[in-house]
Structure 1
């Protein structure tokens, strides 16, 4: 194939992918049954309606914020209280919050090396921001689809100033360690005189798995980052929580990084709504995700699909992975076509290649998913499998 032909084929593949994505979003929006209806799938008018719900969570007769005062400070105080920290600072993005946190710690420890997992968000999704922007150096403790162990932390051959743990580890399947394992990992870092930072973008939903309140979980770390949109359905935004002195320094760096936004009240109000409405419901989402995961597993087994996997087998949060032995484009097309024809969307996220002849997708359960019974999940699996092509042995 000539270079021109290769470029044409790549462009055609991108067009097909874009077309499938548009169909998937349209099918998801019109489907009568889904596991989650995310805010970012809604229209601007629908999103603005969220702000009307803020009347019960904050005094809307208060003056709007200017450079981080007023309602922004109210959110920061609330987050610090929930996580049991001395203070918290609002950031427009988690990428910025974590860069700032870890460069502040590097200044205190005198060591810019950050030990983390190879699948952690900064390594996979942030274009080397830690090193390119923050002047930090990352050390990969492991690439296994689990959190680092205490032995891996204790025996790592290079010194590091900070250990960063993503809880849960999204790209490994939203996995969490056992509570005892987590405390041992934290202690192993302490024994090396390293500080511990939690990438807690989805920490909010970890309480069921750990069997501990948020304050106790966050209390293991020296600093914690949390997101407001990944589980709480806010417009965006993040917070860095920790000791008062660290947070004050982080606010100075927030300004230097361009995060001193003139007015932030729409995002902040949506975060307060999420803390009020969604946070209390997360435990029930996690428990029902386990029902859905078991029904998916049983449904694929009954349909005779070889090597179908739900990972983790018992979800640690309300998000998990499904693996099937087909090509991603095949599964993506069948998922969309099934939703278009039945009004039931079993898989609303894209399918990615997981290996030769394997693909994986993420399943997210939110309020809409609470309506599904196990039998309805199995019936939807049967409808989906009926549209898959026969496999050649």
Structure 2
């Protein structure tokens, strides 16, 4: 198949293996309309019942006094670090080498906030207490991502988290949670989000990843901290005239999918078990700790991609379009996050599809 045929094949898909079903704009706006009451009024510049009720509800789930809705984590997290750093009069913070702030934000923490990020630990393993202890620089704050996406969605034990939290508090180091995928962690820890977040001084959560909303995030923490965060949000142009579409999408998606995280997690373990039976596939982590995993294909990557495109053309099922390159030209990576659509694939169908990809 040529590039145009491949593009058309994937555009015709009606079933999706990864995350939640892709929707067009009309479907998105109909979803928003269906989730607004007749008498609900828009918020304006971050003020109004629509936004304030949602911010308070999310903060309550996270066990924090207050929350502020922001358009993205890329805005929320550097703001959090700036506030803590100003209070400590120390521009240094620690993060894992795979942190979103380091890999995907063009060093905004440095150029916008004059903060110094110190990389702790090794890329493919979870950040540990020893990594923090061994940092030669006095840190104002440490940011931990749960789960650690670039390592396949791995998590530390809850006991390890408690140890890190206890050490940070004893040594006057702020602990901030990058909870971009926090919602997906509950089933593994078997703890409430409030219990998990109690170990952290501030928390960021996203609504568009595991929950499938249009966009949006909440930064939560102490009341005076959130007051400062709103000032920084205004300074950075994030206090839009209205954020109502994103709030409605986040609220409705949260109501619809938060309770499904356990089912997504169990399905991820089932999928990993099936795919591990193929000798040309390796799963990391071998047993998923959340609803996501990294799948490594060993062999002719173009052949695998063509096979996936053929399934899209013949069966209207979207598996993957491209495999991400790795250091080995014979190994390609695919990140899978279990969402709504994959729940409707049986064990037999999943095995059949991947048998077709691997042995085509």
Normalized against structure 1, the TM-score is what? 0.86
Give the one of 182, 188, 212 matched to 2:167. Answer: 188
Aligned 8 A contact 2:20 2:340 in 1: no
Q: CA 1:209/1:29 → structure 2, altered by over 3 Å: closer, same or farther?
A: farther
Give the one of 187, 202, 209 matched to 1:208. Answer: 187
Match of 2:322 in 1: 350
* Within-5 A mapping of 1:194-343: 194-298=173-277, 300-301=278-279, 305=280, 308-326=281-299, 328-343=301-316
1:69 aligns with 2:41: no
Segments of structure 2 that go 5 or more residues without pairing to the other structure are: none
Whole-Å Cα distance in 1 between the matches of residues 172 and 80 of structure 2?
17
How far has the Cα of 1:29 moved from its partner? Answer: 5.0
Q: CA 1:60/1:154 → structure 2, altered by over 3 Å: closer, same or farther?
A: farther
**Stretch moving more, 118-127 or 69-78:** 69-78
Whole-Å Cα distance in 2 between the matches of residues 350 and 197 of structure 1?
34
Whole-Å Cα distance in 1 between the matches of residues 226 and 342 of structure 2?
37
Match of 2:113 in 1: 134
Aligned 8 A contact 2:308 2:321 in 1: no
How far has the Cα of 1:232 moved from its partner? Answer: 1.2
How far has the Cα of 1:153 moved from its partner? Answer: 1.1
* Within-5 A mapping of 1:90-129: 90-129=69-108
Secondary structure, counterpart of 2:273 in structure 1 = helix
Aligned 8 A contact 1:28 1:34 in 2: no
Aligned 8 A contact 1:328 1:352 in 2: no
Aligned 8 A contact 1:153 1:188 in 2: no
Q: What are the Cα deviations for residues 159-178 of structure 1, in whole angstroms up to 9, with x where unaligned? A: 11000001111111111111
Instruction: Flag the structure with more relative contact order, 1 or 2, with Cα contacts below 8 A and sequence separation at least 6.
Output: 2
How far has the Cα of 1:328 moved from its partner? Answer: 4.7
Aligned 8 A contact 2:298 2:332 in 1: yes
Q: What are the Cα deviations for residues 61-103 of structure 1, in whole angstroms up to 9, with x where unaligned? A: 1321111122111110111111110000010111000011110
Aligned 8 A contact 1:89 1:251 in 2: yes
How far has the Cα of 1:187 moved from its partner? Answer: 2.3
Q: CA 1:314/1:383 → structure 2, altered by over 3 Å: closer, same or farther?
A: same
Whole-Å Cα distance in 2 between the matches of residues 188 and 80 of structure 1?
25
Whole-Å Cα distance in 1 between the matches of residues 215 and 315 of structure 2?
33
Whole-Å Cα distance in 1 between the matches of residues 131 and 105 of structure 2?
24
Give the one of 30, 40, 54 matched to 2:35. Answer: 54
Aligned 8 A contact 2:187 2:262 in 1: yes
1:373 aligns with 2:346: yes
Whole-Å Cα distance in 1 between the matches of residues 35 and 80 of structure 2?
30
Segments of structure 1 that go 5 or more residues without pairing to the other structure are: 1-15, 388-393
Whole-Å Cα distance in 2 between the matches of residues 349 and 197 of structure 1?
35
Whole-Å Cα distance in 1 between the matches of residues 292 and 10 of structure 2?
17
Match of 1:6 in 2: none
Q: CA 1:349/1:196 → structure 2, altered by over 3 Å: closer, same or farther?
A: farther
Q: What are the Cα deviations for residues 300-339 of structure 1, in whole angstroms up to 9, with x where unaligned? A: 13xxx3xx20111111111111001136544333322232
Whole-Å Cα distance in 1 between the matches of residues 128 and 321 of structure 2?
31
Query: RMSD across aligned C-alpha pairs, in angstroms?
Result: 1.9
1:42 aligns with 2:23: yes
Whole-Å Cα distance in 1 between the matches of residues 238 and 28 of structure 2?
23
Whole-Å Cα distance in 1 between the matches of residues 38 and 326 of structure 2?
48
Aligned 8 A contact 1:349 1:361 in 2: no
Whole-Å Cα distance in 2 between the matches of residues 140 and 330 of structure 1?
38
1:23 aligns with 2:6: yes
Give the one of 125, 129, 144 matched to 1:146. Answer: 125
Whole-Å Cα distance in 2 between the matches of residues 188 and 29 of structure 1?
51
Query: Counting helix residues as a fraction of each chain, which structure ranks higher?
Result: 1
Whole-Å Cα distance in 1 between the matches of residues 249 and 62 of structure 2?
19
How far has the Cα of 1:30 moved from its partner? Answer: 3.2
